[in-house]
Each structure stands twice: as structure tokens, then as C-alpha cells.
Amino acid sequence: MLDARDTEILAHRMAQLNEREGPRVGDWVILQGDGDFNERLRRFTHDWGDTIQTNDPGDSGSFYLGDGYCSYSGALAPGIDKKSLTNSGQTRLGRVWFFRHNIHEAHNRVNTAAEFRVFLQANG
């Protein structure tokens, strides 16, 4: 459960992250294809510049929310060309964590969720 200080940290970090344009680590993507929606729904995990990788289906792995960035720990899928992505204008909750009261020490993790952008991968 977030207390007032952690709620402030979350809001500040998300405001910083939301200043960044385009797809970011932590954002969602709906991959092209005819498969089940839950199999095509992924989160971005690593940004290589022209391409961006995703995770396994769903909200797997660990997403750390820092000051203006999100980083990922877990399995990586192949990269997607950023030119094939379009912001849907929608958001979706995604799991994140950070250190309680911004004190970096063992066993001081805060687990929560935040609103992340949803992108669509173009066909073809």
C-alpha cells in the first residue's frame, strides 16, 4: 500500500516519464496477428533506438520505475521496428516498483501499478 510519500514519488516519476515521446520501456503494444488478444499484448522492455524489444505475453518480468525512465528485468523477445508502431491514444495499467520513500536498501520495495501508453503494431 502506498503512503503519501510514495504516492508523491510515483506521481513525480510518471510525470517525468510522460514527458518522453514515442514508445518507452514499460508501455504496452498490441502485436499484429490473428492470435488471442492476451498472446499479442506485450510490454516494451528494452529500447535499441530504431527497434524496441518486448516481454513474454502479459505483464511478466520486473519493471523498475526511476526518475523519468523505466527499466526491465526478465526475458526479452525479438525487437520491433519503431516505424511500425502507432500510439493508440489509450492507456493501460502496468506493474512497476520502486524503493519505498526513495531509500535504496534491501527489502524496501514498493509494488504498485501506473498508467502506460498502448501502441499498435501495423500490419505488413
In order of 24, 59, 85, the CA distances from 50 in angstroms are: 12, 23, 11
Q: Which run of H or E residues covers position 46?
A: strand 41-47
On whether the CB atoms of residues 62 and 25 are closer than 8 A, the answer is no
If you ran DSSP here, which 8-state letter would residue 123 be given?
A: P
109-118 pLDDT, tens digit per residue, is: 999 999 999 9
On whether the CB atoms of residues 98 and 65 are closer than 8 A, the answer is yes
Query: With 60 as the cut, is the pLDDT of residue 34 above it?
Result: yes
83-92 pLDDT, tens digit per residue, is: 999 999 999 9
d(CA 67, CA 44): 18
Write down the domain spans for the chain.
4-121
Task: Characterize the bridge pairing of strands 85-99 and 109-121.
Answer: antiparallel
User: What's the confidence (pLDDT) of residue 88?
Assistant: 96
Please state the pTM of the whole predicted model: 0.92
